[in-house]
Amino acid sequence: MARSASEEPLLPLLELKSSEKLAETHQHDDATFIRTCFNGLNALSGVGLLSIPYALSQGGWLSLLLLFIVAMICCYTGLLLQRCMNADPRIRTYPDIGEFAFGYSGRIFVSIFMYLELYLVAIGFLILEGDNLDKLFPDTRLTVGTVSIASKQLFVMLVALIILPTTWLRSLGVLAYVSAGGVLASVIVVFSVLWAATVDGVGFGERGRFSNLSGLPTALGLYTFCYCGHAVFPTLCTSMKDKSKFSKVLLLCFITCTLNYGSMAILGYLMYGDSVNSQVTLNLPTGKLSSKVAIYTTLINPFSKYALMIAPVATAIEERLITVNKRSPMLLIRSLVVLSTVVIALTIPFFGSLMALIGSLLSIIVSMMLPCICYIKIFGASQVRKVELVLISGILLTGSLVAVTGTYSSLKEIIHQF
């Protein structure tokens, strides 16, 4: 059984006050079902959309089945997070779930993996922007005195400067309007790639491989990365007016995103086969209208998603350093967080390998393993149905195997590129 409210307090006094402050901050943040759907879709339909054809090329056609299996597992673990939140009304965030299950050490453990995942995803957004703008304007360069900044590095810095104001938004209800633009952009990218194949002459001339066992760890890591929204799911649930409808939000978001991901994977692999790049937009023919639409629309995505990923990281820092009512330090903290992601994006500009690393190590832990572990701890193995216990055990075993093999493969690739 779940712990009762009469037992030991859920959170230490300091942490409980912190959660109460966060609640005050979002007291006007009661997001509707539709707005939460937009935020959820925006969290799931991220830059993984561009790397999904590359993932399919790594694992072969047979690995497409794994995409749907990963989607079902991640949807299920998202529902487990909701059940964990229902165990105590004071649970508002993912770290709260970790603390309710394992005490303060659980909060620290969950926080490290969750915030690191979100932080690295935000870095991936900046790398994505730099790569695609460099394809559009390859000869751009800025020279200041004796210092010359190449196009890719310059675009990363400019994009970060433009994105910065969106990170100052604290209300998820308001952020939903930004998210709606990101969701629309994801759909447009798929149709632009389809247009390039059917109208602009690229065609579907590649057959690809049926399977590639050596590339499966990378493919699984990238597939898991596509569904790495669990870190923000508790925050989205907390922001809802009617939290009981969050399970419906999850189902709708996962079904919609999986259809979009599957379509892009098949299109990109049929078009370019094993020669597809880590970002399919980099394969598109230059000068064609469909290519420009796809790339420009791709550039919109990080603008709508970056703030959603950074928000939990920035809020956690704010809770430790400032009081809620001081707005100026909040702006400074969020600006420094953005600056730090720029520095790392300029240092490790390997989009595909970074996404595979995030998916293999962090996303599998945050999106698959931790929800299962916390759920079993909170409710007890004896209270969980045997069928569900077997399913959870299978998820933990598979997740551990993929985390080890996928992390090794992606780290090896990053080191090789250096």
Every domain of the chain and the residues it spans? 13-417
- Yes or no: say if 206 and 61 are a contact pair by the CB < 8 Å rule: no
Handedness of CA 276, 281, 287, 289 (dihedral sign): positive
Q: In a structure prediction context, what are the per-residue pLDDT tens digits for the chain, which is 418 residues long? A: 444 443 444 444 334 333 444 344 444 457 788 888 888 887 787 667 888 999 999 999 999 999 999 999 999 999 999 999 999 888 888 889 999 999 999 999 998 888 888 888 888 888 878 887 887 777 777 777 677 777 788 888 888 888 888 777 666 555 666 667 777 888 888 899 999 888 887 888 888 899 888 888 888 888 988 888 888 888 888 888 888 899 999 999 999 999 999 999 999 999 998 899 888 888 888 778 888 888 888 777 677 678 777 877 887 787 777 554 455 577 788 888 889 988 888 887 666 666 667 777 778 888 899 999 999 999 988 888 889 999 999 999 988 887 887 777 777 776 776 6
What does the alpha-carbon distance between residue 145 and residue 164 come to, in Å, rounded to a whole number? 27
Q: Please state the φ and ψ torsions of residue 391, each to the nearest 5 degrees.
A: -60, -45
What's the residue count for the chain? 418
Task: Report the CATH fold assignment for 13-417.
Answer: Amino acid/polyamine transporter I (1.20.1740)
What does the alpha-carbon distance between residue 364 and residue 353 come to, in Å, rounded to a whole number? 16
CA distances from residue 177 to 38, 90, 169, 286, 412 in whole angstroms, order as listed:
8, 28, 11, 32, 40
pLDDT of residue 71: 94
- Yes or no: say if 20 and 282 are a contact pair by the CB < 8 Å rule: no
CA distances from residue 378 to 95, 100, 361, 374, 398 in whole angstroms, order as listed:
14, 7, 24, 6, 22
**pTM of full prediction above 0.75:** yes
pLDDT of residue 6: 38
Q: Count Cβ atoms within 10 A of the Cβ of residue 266 and give its class: 0-12 exposed, 13-18 middle, 19 or more buried.
A: middle
Give me Rg for the CA atoms of the chain: 21
